[in-house]
C-alpha cells in the first residue's frame, strides 16, 4: 500500500509536497485553502504550474485534496447550502488545476431536514460540482461517523448517494477507518474487516474504493464519536490495519493518515507503525 499523511499548506502547495518527500511519504493530502474560512485568496497560474513541475520530479502518488471544514452540501438552509456548493466548486477546481488525483469531501448533515432530503441535496451538490468543473480529479465521498444527523455513515447510504450521481465514472469512495468503526463497522479484527468489505462489495462494488483514511478511533464501536487516534493507540488496534494492508486487493488502494499532530515526528511514527505491519515477500 502506498502511504502518506495529511500535510499543512502553510508554506504553499509545493511546501506540502516538499514535506511529503521529507517524510518519505508515497503520497499526501492537503487542503486547497484555509480549512476554517470561506474566503479564498486568488491564485496565480504560476502557483499551479510550479507545483505540478515539482511533483513531476518526484514519484509522489496520490495527491489528495480535501474539502474544507465549513461546507455542508446536505444543508437545508439555502444560504449555507449555496455557500457550501460555491466553496466546493472552487476547491474542486483548484484540485483539478493542481492535477490532484483525488478530491475528498464529507457529504454533510441533515440537521433540520429529513435524511432523504439531505441525501437529495448532497447528491444535487455533487452533480452541480461535476457539471461546473471538468478535469482529471476523481471526486470521493467520505463515509461519516454517524453522529447526530450525519448522512453517509452506512454502506447502504453511500450506495444510495452513488446511485443519484449523473457521472458515476467520475466518483468513488474514501473509506475512513475511524469513521467506520464509530459508525458500528468492526475494523478491529480480521473477521470484522472481512465482513465489512464483503458488504462494500455487495452494496457498492470494490471498484469504487479509491482511497483509505487510516486512523485509529478513540471512541467505542458504534459510538458515533469522530475522534482520530494514533495507529494502534485506539479501539481499533493493529490487527484490522494489518489485514487491510496485506489484503491482495485492498493493499493496492492508497492510504492517508489523518492522525493527531501532538508532537514532532507523529506522522513518521504512524507511518512506521503501518509499514511494520506489511508482510514481506
Catalytic residues: 36, 66, 69, 106, 142, 176, 179, 213, 226, 228, 258
Kindly compute the dihedral angle of the four CA atoms of residues 265, 269, 270, 274, in this order, to the nearest 10 degrees: 150
How many residues does the structure list for the chain? 281
Q: Evaluate the omega torsion of the peptide bond into residue 236 and state whether it is cis, within 30 degrees of 0.
A: no
CA distances from 37 to 50, 71, 131, 166, 208 (A): 25, 10, 24, 30, 30
DSSP state for residue 135 in the 8-state scheme: S
Is-contact 115 149, C-beta < 8 A? yes
Distance CA 240, CA 106 (A): 23
Distance CA 254, CA 248 (A): 13
Amino acid at each position: 500500500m502506498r502511504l502518506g499523511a495529511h500535510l499543512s499548506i502553510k508554506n504553499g502547495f509545493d511546501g506540502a509536497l516538499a514535506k511529503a518527500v521529507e517524510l518519505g511519504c508515497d503520497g499526501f493530502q492537503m487542503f486547497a485553502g484555509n480549512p476554517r474560512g470561506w474566503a479564498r485568496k486568488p491564485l496565480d497560474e504560476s502557483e499551479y504550474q510550479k507545483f505540478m513541475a515539482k511533483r513531476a520530479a518526484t514519484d509522489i502518488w496520490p495527491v489528495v485534496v480535501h474539502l474544507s471544514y465549513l461546507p455542508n452540501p446536505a444543508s437545508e438552509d439555502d444560504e449555507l447550502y449555496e455557500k457550501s456548493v460555491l466553496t466546493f466548486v472552487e476547491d474542486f477546481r483548484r484540485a483539478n488545476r493542481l492535477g490532484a488525483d483525488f478530491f475528498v469531501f464529507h457529504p454533510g448533515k441533515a440537521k433540520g431536514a429529513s435524511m432523504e432530503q439531505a441525501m437529495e441535496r448532497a447528491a444535487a451538490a455533487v452533480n452541480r460540482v461535476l457539471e461546473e468543473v471538468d478535469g482529471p480529479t476523481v471526486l470521493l465521498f467520505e463515509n461519516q461517523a454517524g453522529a447526530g444527523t450525519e448522512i453517509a455513515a452506512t454502506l447502504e447510504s453511500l450506495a444510495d448517494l452513488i446511485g443519484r450521481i449523473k457521472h458515476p465514472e467520475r466518483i468513488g469512495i474514501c473509506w475512513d477507518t475511524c469513521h467506520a468503526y464509530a459508525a458500528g463497522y468492526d475494523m478491529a479484527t480480521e473477521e470484522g474487516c472481512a465482513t465489512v468489505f464483503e458488504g462494500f462489495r455487495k452494496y457498492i462494488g470494490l471498484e469504487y474504493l479509491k482511497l483509505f483514511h487510516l486512523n485509529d478511533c478513540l471512541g467505542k464501536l458504534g459510538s458515533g464519536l469522530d475522534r482520530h487516534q494514533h495507529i494502534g493507540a485506539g479501539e481499533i488496534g493493529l490487527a484490522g490495519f494489518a489485514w487491510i494492508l496485506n489484503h491482495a486487493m485492498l493493499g493496492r488502494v492508497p492510504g492517508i493518515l489523518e492522525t493527531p499532530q501532538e508532537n514532532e515526528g507523529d506522522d513518521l511514527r504512524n507511518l512506521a507503525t503501518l509499514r511494520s505491519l506489511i508482510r514481506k515477500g
